[in-house]
Structure 1
């Protein structure tokens, strides 16, 4: 290691910032599985396309509230997985609504 000339003093080392609760892949995967099961079980309760859309919207909002609570308490990996699963479930429900809407039937009213 070379010694410095003194023209550019070294100074103290830069601080290293670390996450207090790092996001781990396993927690994200478990959150995705849990969120996927949540959305699937609520989707299976519906008997019509309109019922499926409304139940999925309600289940997605509840899942996002749970994800926000998990972010607040520190398990951000599971919160990410749950939010991703809820987003996929809501996207599928909105595709069903859009397909029925293109066919001339608005199923949300």
Structure 2
């Protein structure tokens, strides 16, 4: 009697390195372009929030119907860009005791 083989579970659409880096690069350029529109911290933070929301929408669409590696890279860039903006906002809030987004 043959021994049953164990099942092999594989990801149907694996995330590869090159598409992930392409998404990370595209997301970084996206945030650099949106961040360069801002003239001060207030406008920089709001433009970064707008860039993050649009990048999340693109990442969701890419995750469902496109390349998931690029979606992961764009989401990573989005999280990093938003974290940098939040750090600047938090630093200004701590040093001046004034919330800079209003």
Q: TM-score range by the shorter chain?
A: over 0.9
| 1:23–1:81 Cα change, 3 Å | same
CA RMSD of aligned residues (A): 1.2
- CA–CA separation in structure 2 for the residues paired with 1:50 and 1:10: 69
Larger Cα-atom Rg: 1
Partner deviation per Cα, 1:23-61 (whole Å, 9 max, x = no partner): 000011000000000000000000010000011011001
The aligned residue for residue 3 of structure 1 is none
- CA–CA separation in structure 1 for the residues paired with 2:34 and 2:66: 26
Please show how residues 24-103 of structure 1 align to structure 2 within 5 Å: 24-102=16-94, 103=96
- CA–CA separation in structure 2 for the residues paired with 1:16 and 1:104: 57
TM-score, normalising length: structure 1: 0.87
More helix by share: 2
Alignment gaps of 5+ in structure 1:
1-8
TM-score, normalising length: structure 2: 0.92
Aligned residues: 101
Partner deviation per Cα, 1:41-84 (whole Å, 9 max, x = no partner): 00000001000001101100110111111110141111110000
The aligned residue for residue 97 of structure 2 is 104
Alignment gaps of 5+ in structure 2:
none
